[in-house]
Amino acid sequence: MEILELQSNHKRLLFYGSCHSNDPEDPMFDDIERRLFAFDPELVLVEGGYHEPIIENRAEAIENGESAFVTHLAGQLDVPTGNLEPGDDDTIAHLLERWSAESILSMLVLRQVIQLQRDAENREVDFLSDMTRHISGWADDGLEVIDMDADLSMELMELLEPSLGGNRDTSSWQSWPAEALIYDGEDAELHEIWLATINYRDHYS
């Protein structure tokens, strides 16, 4: 975790490189709140573009992670939020130059599974509801792969079968080896797509 406060003439920047957490006992959240309120920002840039909807309840915001919490604090301060990263539509358009929509969506779904597996340690997760929201958004951004009027559970398992193998269903999502497939490279293609996403984001930022 890295925290920087920089100043040049009359311009000031607070950079808070946090860990990913939704643990209500994590002292990081109190530290973020203390520093942000003391800094009194005019604009808050949030990793991953989590800037809507604003969660009004503090505890609920923490349950949804540090990005949701910072957005909550920006709402308390009545200051605008923005995104440090390119939008999903730009990123997906970039990835489609090299990979199929099905492979890109598989990576995005499994990357979200990693997040939900982490979240489930501290809050109740409605897996299919969360996936419906994300997949619908990715479809709007160019990945119209899954029929949203069909059985989402069956559609997901058909999409992910090449990576996860057979004999699985969405009820076992908490045991899916998503991190090994994406981050550790057990699925070489999805690992490459993830790396390309990171490189594109870093170049943009």
- The pairs formed by 158-166 with CB atoms below 8 angstroms and a separation of 24 or more are 159/102, 159/105, 159/106, 159/109, 160/106, 160/109, 160/110, 162/106, 163/106, 163/110, 163/187, 163/190
| Model confidence pLDDT, tens digit, residues 5-39 | 999 988 999 999 888 888 899 999 999 999 999 99
> Mean of the per-residue pLDDT values for the chain?
91
* Strand 2-8 to 11-17 pairing: antiparallel
pLDDT of 108 over the 90 cut: yes
**Cα 114 off chain centre by:** 9
Single-letter amino acid, residue 115: Q
